[in-house]
Amino acid sequence: MVIKQAELETVCGITSRLPENTRPEVAFAGKSNVGKSSLINGLLNRKSLARTSSQPGKTQTINFYSVNRELYLVDLPGYGYAKVAQEIKEKWGRMIERYLHGSKQLKAVFLLVDIRHAPSANDQDMYRWIVSQGYEPVIIATKLDKIKRSQVEKQMKLLREGLKLPSRTKILPFSSVTKQGREEIWEAIESFTGEESHE
C-alpha cells in the first residue's frame, strides 16, 4: 500500500457517538504496551501520527485514522493495564463492545500480542471476547526484532497454543524497528477491505 494521505480524523471517548463512516474499517486491539501506536505509525510510514507513550494505558479513546481517503485504521483502547481503575476498564470494555457491534463498516479485527512471551490471561480473554463478538481476529506478533530469528517458529507456536487458535488463523510477525511484516499486514488488510495497493 502506497500511503498518499494519512490523518487522525475522529477521536471517540466513552460518551462520544461513533462516526457513521462509509469506508471500510479495520480495528487493532492489544495490551497497553504491546506496540499498537508503533504498528500504526509503521503501517502509515509516519513517525508520530499515532502517539506512542511511555505510560501504558494512555489511549483511552477509539481513534480513526483515514488512509488515502479509502479506508480507516481504528486504534482501540489498550487493555489489561493494572493502574487503571476497574470502573474505567469496564467503561472501555463497553465502549469497544459498542464499536464492534455498532460499526457498519468494520471488516476485521487484528489482535496484537508480544512475540516474546506466552499470551497473558488478558490476551486470552481479549481473544475469546473478540471471537464472541463475531470476529475471527488476525494475530499480529509484535516486537519481532527483540528475538533471534531461530526463535521465531517456537514463539509463534507458543502464541498459537496459548490462545488456542484454529489452524486457519493467521499470525503475522511484525517489527516496528525494521518494518518486517509490514507488507504482509497490508496484504491482510486489503484482503478484508477490497482495497488494492496503488503503486
CA distance 98 to 92: 10
**3-state class (DSSP) for residue 110:** strand
Q: What is the CB neighbour count within 10 angstroms for residue 65?
A: 23
Grid-cell match 488476525, residue found: 138
Q: What is the pLDDT of residue 83?
A: 61
Consecutive sets of 10 residues in the chain, 199 residues long: mean pLDDT of each? 94 89 96 91 92 61 95 88 68 86 95 96 91 95 97 97 96 97 97 69
Predicted TM-score of the model (pTM)? 0.91
- Nine-digit cell string for 196: 488494492
Closest CA to 136 of 103, 171, 102: 171
CA distance 109 to 131: 10
Q: What is the pLDDT of residue 70?
A: 96
Q: What is the pLDDT of residue 199?
A: 37
- Residue 163 near residue 78, CB atoms below 8 Å: no
Q: What is the pLDDT of residue 52?
A: 66
Q: Which residues contact 192 (CB under 8 A, 6 or more apart)?
A: 24, 26, 107, 108
Please count the CA atoms within 13 angstroms of the CA of 156 that sit on its side-chain side: 16
Type of residue at 138: V
Q: What is the CB neighbour count within 10 angstroms for residue 185?
A: 22
DSSP 116-161: TSPPPHHHHHHHHHHHHTT--PEEEEE-GGGS-GGGHHHHHHHHHH
Q: Which residues contact 36 (CB under 8 A, 6 or more apart)?
A: 28, 30, 50, 59, 75, 78, 112
CA distance 107 to 4: 22
Q: What is the pLDDT of residue 82?
A: 52
